[in-house]
Amino acid sequence: DAKTTQPNSMESNEEEPVHLPCNHSTISGTDYIHWYRQLPSQGPEYVIHGLTSNVNNRMASLAIAEDRKSSTLILHRATLRDAAVYYCILRSYSNSGYALNFGKGTSLLVTP
């Protein structure tokens, strides 16, 4: 499976934009880029996903590089409730069906 590389941690001030980077240089043409986040003491929750084009939803935006070797999750105005571990995951239709390969993710700290 193609792997992703994320910074271990990032810090942001409340109400400022946050750009969470992810490198996936070995991504294949059929891999979707998924982002999940895990709030403290909770299960992961879906944030956004995309294939080639940039994507927006109510939670965040996903910017995908033209060569698809990297992507950035954008939180437009960070709040204290956005403090979580953010996982960048490549999802492929492997033998594990639609199972997700989680790495360690990026721990986002939001300060008032």
Binding other proteins (rule: CB under 8 A), the pick from 40, 43, 53, 58 is: 43
* Minimum CB–partner distance for residue 29 and other proteins (Å): 17
b/e map 39-74, b = 16+ CB within 10 Å? eeeeebeebbebeeeebeeeebbbbbeeebebbbbe
Binding other proteins (rule: CB under 8 A), the pick from 55, 59, 63, 91 is: 91
Contact flag: residue 29 with other proteins (CB under 8 A):
no
Binding residues for other proteins, total number by CB under 8 A: 23
